[in-house]
Structure 1
Amino acid sequence: MSAGFAECSPPPRRDSGRAQRTRKAPARHHRSAAEQYALAATARPADTYARIVALDLVAEAEMHLKRGSIEQACLTWHKAIDHMGGVRSARTRKAVSRMRSDLRRFRARGLRCVAELDERGRDFLAGA
């Protein structure tokens, strides 16, 4: 190989602090995403768009869970299931199944809000 090969290699990377800023971005992203889903859920008439409002609330709950706010996630999932009353769709059933799966790791901790929500999800799926 020629000496010109070394000249083609990229310059050494410099840490400009950007890596530090981007490490903290996901927590902010989850918070702002949860806020946006909450706004979307309240912006629609719940009686006309019950399924969409419920799915917006599910997405908000998932963002709370990713952020580590299990109690807030449970509260939001309860609201979502409230909106699912009378709505039967593959997407809502899939959302509740995913919720129960996501809660699996918290059930072992004995969190009351998780146990209540899991039971409600199981009842929802049994009636679907």
Structure 2
Amino acid sequence: MDTKVSPSELTIRIARIPRTVTIGSDQVLVHELGIRLPFTRKPQALEDVGGGEPQRIFVTRTRELTTDEYDDFASDLLRRREWLTREGGQIWDAWVCVELIAPGRPILYVNPEGADYARYVARLG
């Protein structure tokens, strides 16, 4: 029996607590993950991600990628991507992230700290 879980199923299984937080002057709905993960600063590629102190995570949005889009993203995490601009940051003791999912791939949590590249990355799986 195949017990693999798809990324979208895994995101559903992780406890998520909805919270409204202030980012700049905007009220934003985030989902606090029920797990903490370690982030890597400025990893070049996916194999560089890991280690560090686990952090609390607030997800502002989930972006579903194809496997080709995911593999392209994961192969060069420092490349500029317009869709990351003005995302991320830190609120209280939590890292504000975009969640990236693709079939058969680890889930990524990206905190660009307002930049247009994956400045901080954590992975699940």
Indicate the structure with greater helix content: 1
TM-score, reference length from structure 2:
0.26
Indicate the structure with greater strand content: 2
The structure with the larger Rg is 1
TM-score, reference length from structure 1:
0.25
